[in-house]
Structure 1
């Protein structure tokens, strides 16, 4: 008899009238807000402007969601495009299925666009939001609990997860891999925060540490899962992905520390500099208009001089055969008496 276990919710959707409120979506949304809020605090502490993280997140989050879904659909295409499946389900993101690898990769593209528009170095921005992303993942993993998905092997441990009967799953007690990964992500966030303060990480090394630490945990947690996945040489595809990305992140940390030690002194152009740039542009425009006016006057003078040389009257002089107003009055003969 099992005396203790983690129960799963009977449903992952609560209907508020005709509007469905999905636990999976709530976890993703809350995670995004936490990442932006905490990232903003770290950005301001490093000398950035409040609100910049949110402005760039407007680009990064949609790109990340698309990238996460694309990675899931591509690596688990049989769930949507095999016989008896409906490809339309590939767009039902609320039913679960976001690959963190694709989310980070394409989310970085969106962040790069946002940073470029504001003249901000992407590595500095990535360092600021790294712990927040880990916290967001910790919260987002609870969406799998609402959907009763991504659990591990059967177990009789006191913290086993109860799974109910459903499509492609059997009722029983399993390892709560969603909980393992959630707790691991919290630990990753705390590790990055500590290391950033202890070693003054910069130029993207805090973000690379987050990536390496997450991959180290994802490897053994992924190995415990029992959901369908592609295998290469006996290992799940995501295990291989974690190994490759881990090695790349560690390599970046080592090479970056040698090439660019320390941390960026300026992470965002100051507001005064941006305002000065606008003023300089306005001054340049005014000087250009003045120069154009002077050039026009010079051209007029040249034209008048040319007319003088040829005997033609200047633009502002009377013709030679036309007496001036004063001369007409003085030289005219008075009328004679008859």
Structure 2
């Protein structure tokens, strides 16, 4: 773990933030290419407008979601609410903010919401891969103690090391990064398949729900909803909702399939 990428006097550039910047840059080019291929936007600047709306809302909701579940701690240190470089962005909150942003842009640009979502989700899951690498370098989103040979002892200065000093932990953030990378590969392969609007987005929500549900068993900093892990509750709801829509709507079929011509 090495959280600081570069220090220039009082200015610090952390890997945590750097990974997000890289994901935004890569995501911009992926979304631009996918939006053009799907015929979503008519102007090149539309993608930039999309990012200017979605990214701030995603970060804001990701932070609010995390703070809401940890309010007992933030109540005693309210200034920490604004210090996102210390960690504390919940992806489910970020997804909520992203969906709100997509709804705004879809209405603003007068484009089909689910077609726009299909253009965005490959970039989103790739950004999540890089985000989890940032978590690793920052020492947050960590796992529970383990005796497995790949267990990692994090420095005491990190959130993981402060919670479990001197103990080897599951690299839960890397487990999720690997699962997200596999999901990205699947979405990238399916993106050119003729299907109804929303097929790729539904596949993303189902796939990420499954990845997060499994990885949450190893998390040592889980957010709790009563006796249940909040991320697992949300993941189950996502899988059920989008799985039902995928099956009932038969989203994998082309939207305008022509009649079958027999010889």
Q: TM-score, normalised by structure 2?
A: 0.87
CA distance in 1, matches of 2:182, 2:211: 10
Would you say the 8 A contact 2:65–2:90 is kept in 1?
yes
What aligned pairs does 1:141-152 form with structure 2 within 5 A after superposition?
141-152=132-143
Secondary structure of 1:20's match?
Answer: strand
Q: Unaligned 5+ residue runs, structure 2?
A: 258-263
What aligned pairs does 1:172-187 form with structure 2 within 5 A after superposition?
172-187=167-182
Q: Unaligned 5+ residue runs, structure 1?
A: 1-7, 266-338
Would you say the 8 A contact 1:164–1:172 is kept in 2?
no
**Equivalent in the alignment of 1:15:** 7
**Equivalent in the alignment of 1:244:** 237
User: CA offsets per residue over residues 176-216 of structure 1, 9 Å max, x none?
Assistant: 11111111111111112223334x23321211110110010
Of the three residues 207, 211, 216, the one matched with 1:217 is 211
User: CA offsets per residue over residues 213-239 of structure 1, 9 Å max, x none?
Assistant: 001010010111122532544x31211
Would you say the 8 A contact 1:69–1:93 is kept in 2?
yes
CA distance in 2, matches of 1:225, 1:111: 30
Q: TM-score, normalised by structure 1?
A: 0.69
**Equivalent in the alignment of 2:81:** 90
User: Structure 1 segments of 4 or more deviating over 6 A?
Assistant: none
Secondary structure of 1:70's match?
Answer: helix
Matched residue pairs, number?
251
Would you say the 8 A contact 1:28–1:136 is kept in 2?
yes
What aligned pairs does 1:1-338 form with structure 2 within 5 A after superposition?
8-9=1-2, 11-12=3-4, 14-48=6-40, 49=42, 50-81=44-75, 85-166=76-157, 167-198=162-193, 200-227=194-221, 229-233=223-227, 235-257=228-250, 262-263=254-255
Secondary structure of 2:191's match?
Answer: helix
Secondary structure of 2:156's match?
Answer: coil
